[in-house]
Amino acid sequence: MALEHLGAAEPGKGGELILSGATAAGGALPVNPGGGLIGLGHPVGATGVRMLRDAARQVAGTAEATQVDGARTALTVNVGGSFTTVVSLVVTAEA
């Protein structure tokens, strides 16, 4: 659903995008190459900070085993407060 709302997939086509492999680590639009918050434990109250850390490591080229080759921009989307609060951050590498 988030992929659709962000414009990465047409409405109702988010599942197809995932099944196509585009969101896999080697795909055209890698999503959560490190497993996301669920894959790494869910630090309640600090999820946004964890997501920002992962995004910063990707664009800095220091994400080690989960590094996406050539990552220059990363987007985080964090939903909380019983779906009443949404924060998105765009992290880019320096030119």
pTM: 0.85
- Nearest Cα residue to 89 out of 61, 36, 49, 60: 49
pLDDT of residue 94: 85
Q: Is the pLDDT of residue 61 over 80?
A: yes
DSSP labels, 56-90: HHHHHT--GGGPPTT--EEEEEEEETTTTEEEEEE
Give the confidence band of 10 by pLDDT, cuts at 50, 70, 90.
Answer: very high
The secondary structure of residue 24, as a DSSP letter, is S
- 14-21 long-range Cβ contacts below 8 angstroms, 24+ apart: none
Torsion of CA 3, 91, 68, 14, to 10 degrees: 0
